Structure 1
């Protein structure tokens, strides 16, 4: 297996086809774990991650998908691909079917117990999904399951292809064709190879390949612990009906639980090797085997020349579709806390810098005056038609002075010396909740919806929050940047002598809201 694309560039009308073709790519990375991730480093063990995640399809199933479709798709007949798959295989098939074969219709048959994240991921990649009840990992020969349903459907039409990863020898032979030769070319010193077993295709292909090119390599297969579940691999009991020659391709089997799998995957991700739970699963299986060998005094039997044992495990897919499961499987202490988490449920609406206006810019749009506002008594300016001014300050401060014809909606959560809602999460939470409650009033919102609304407060920050709430309700609202502090700094209101008179005639509003206006 050779290619001359050392610069990893893909040109021309067939660029995508070349990009997906391993024969046109440099080999996928093989990365040694640093000493702090390798508990057997001082025992002469070197561990390498084969990053199958770096294929364009981002998972180990891309190789089988390529090989199976190449041998089964007829470009003159095939219109639809159908596969029973929990995720990676059929997602890879959908991309490869489009890119390599021009087939647009790929359909996924899968368990009704599939996570919502996986279902959305498949929809994202354009897959037509059909769910099936029963076991999440049905036996391939079970006529009641989705595997055989896909097989039967393909028999009914020459336009439908069911590659059937569970029985198709091109599944495991893809790793003889590509993955095995890549690893051997990258690390001819290899002594141990470790891979998980689901369809068993990966382990069957790699184990068969290394039995031929370097029989001394120990081939370790990893199955899920009985009664546990890791996405992708199967328990040893479920391997019984698999017809691939996997038994001849492995020398030892380890069983691994989900907690260790997710924990090691998390650790690898945080150290820069981004990979999913089945990758942690493979590494944990390797750790278990090495630990047993060390305890039995036979670890050195695996070593090659120089007394070093070179081990390769496969990183199979990415973690993102399993994020919620990491939080379900692992202890809370594994994850940093979210500070100000209370804000996740409040302040949910959009902000826009254009809605926060300088006083000297916005007031001339709201008020009519013969002279510049800063040179005019507030008693000499009038509110323009179809405008409202909402003042959120406490009633006592509002009554001391305010913009003409303002409506006072006093917030109990707002005071003249209160911290900004943007520096205190508790303040923001209480103010947002109160504003949402106030602006649920249909009569109030209906009236405001007919006007351009200007919101003011002490510093401008609470008004900014209120503007976000109002805009979310479809009201054309702005706030004064800096609030009444900015108005006073500009000299607006310095000679104000009018006294507020209580009136509710300007706006229909619930009696729970304090309303004051200055008559025109």
Structure 2
């Protein structure tokens, strides 16, 4: 058992769940919520803050500012508390109440955007507010998770090699797409070291990341109202779009087996399950996906029947009560991947 002196010194890299025995899905789920930030975003937070410190961008009076739908905000709040920096998280009305409260417990300030930009949506409005803050006070330091190479670099350094060590014969890896930091870090590593592994991006219906039309989305985490600056589709072999109700249904399926996961994890598993049902009905491929978060922060949304009914209609509750087959995720054609170097 390790002995640590800072919360970000601990991260469980090697915990996987075999979903074949519990859900009948031939898929291994990498659990990324077993750390003090509760999500995979701890890796990105560590990578970006430590790089900014090495570059001399952070001073003792610096105030970190970041746009986040929740999980990165919690990770940065935790690290800011540990290292003595101020932190202001700019989020929007989709951020869970429990997530906002966690950030505030760590001493962070939280500014919630409630009015979307007419073109770029809530994310665009969040980014515009961050830019105004930077102009108002030079103490603010924006790590900019959307364009920071240390975001995807953290997953190139840690996440992808951990998967490769566990599964030397991996055939396909499913990765959820938000800022695409996790996706790009893993895809770049595998294209460089194991180019035979097929990389499938999983995204939420309503996200514009892969050229699909924008639509309202209610579950924070995956998806984007603005095309991610880091996304390079040449590293992606296929894309799977997942309806939010299928995310909710998968979260409930997992919970019914004793695994409480968050919305991003539900989306990743739902997309992987649908892809495998179509492309590998015999279950011969070795497949893995990444579960970015746990489910405690979603108790008032994804796991709350009143919320589900209000957002998705009364028929959604009937679907939750019905034995679920494979989710109805939608396939999107991606460009042919190129075996590019990182």
TM-score, scaled to structure 2: 0.78
**How far is the alpha carbon of 1:158 from its aligned partner?**
4.4
Corresponding residue of 1:213: 193
Corresponding residue of 1:464: none
CA distance in 2, matches of 1:259, 1:179: 28
State how 1:109-148 maps to structure 2 within 5 Å.
109-135=90-116, 139=120, 145-148=125-128
Of 53, 69, 76, 1:86 maps to 69
Q: Are the counterparts in 2 of residues 222 and 282 from structure 1 also a CA contact under 8 Å?
A: yes
**How far is the alpha carbon of 1:155 from its aligned partner?**
5.3
CA distance in 1, matches of 2:231, 2:263: 25
Corresponding residue of 1:38: 24
Relative contact order, CA 8 A, sep 6+: which one is greater?
2
Corresponding residue of 2:146: 166
> RMSD in angstroms over aligned alpha carbons?
2.8
State how 1:36-435 maps to structure 2 within 5 Å.
36-39=22-25, 46-73=26-53, 74=56, 76-99=59-82, 101-103=83-85, 105-135=86-116, 139=120, 145-154=125-134, 157-226=137-206, 227=215, 229=217, 230-234=219-223, 238=225, 241-294=227-280, 308-325=284-301, 326=303, 327=305, 328-329=307-308, 330-331=316-317, 334=320
Say which is worse superposed, 172-181 or 243-252, in terms of deviation: 243-252
Q: Are the counterparts in 2 of residues 151 and 164 from structure 1 also a CA contact under 8 Å?
A: no
Unaligned runs of 5+ in 2: 207-214, 309-315, 322-342
Q: Are the counterparts in 1 of residues 117 and 125 from structure 2 also a CA contact under 8 Å?
A: no
Q: Are the counterparts in 2 of residues 61 and 88 from structure 1 also a CA contact under 8 Å?
A: yes
CA distance in 2, matches of 1:20, 1:70: 11
Q: Are the counterparts in 1 of residues 81 and 107 from structure 2 also a CA contact under 8 Å?
A: no
CA distance in 2, matches of 1:213, 1:288: 27
What is the SS of the residue equivalent to 1:16? coil
**How far is the alpha carbon of 1:333 from its aligned partner?**
8.2
CA distance in 2, matches of 1:189, 1:79: 46
Cα 1:97–1:28 shift into 2, 3 Å: farther
**How far is the alpha carbon of 1:274 from its aligned partner?**
2.5
What is the SS of the residue equivalent to 1:131? strand
Q: Size of the alignment, in residue pairs?
A: 299
What is the SS of the residue equivalent to 2:116? coil
Unaligned runs of 5+ in 1: 1-7, 40-45, 336-520
The superposition leaves residues 500-519 of structure 1 with CA deviations (integer Å, 9 ceiling, x where unpaired) of: xxxxxxxxxxxxxxxxxxxx
**How far is the alpha carbon of 1:202 from its aligned partner?**
1.1
CA distance in 1, matches of 2:116, 2:197: 35
**How far is the alpha carbon of 1:170 from its aligned partner?**
1.1
CA distance in 2, matches of 1:332, 1:129: 36
**How far is the alpha carbon of 1:138 from its aligned partner?**
8.1
**How far is the alpha carbon of 1:257 from its aligned partner?**
1.0
What is the SS of the residue equivalent to 1:108? strand
Q: Are the counterparts in 1 of residues 13 and 32 from structure 2 also a CA contact under 8 Å?
A: no
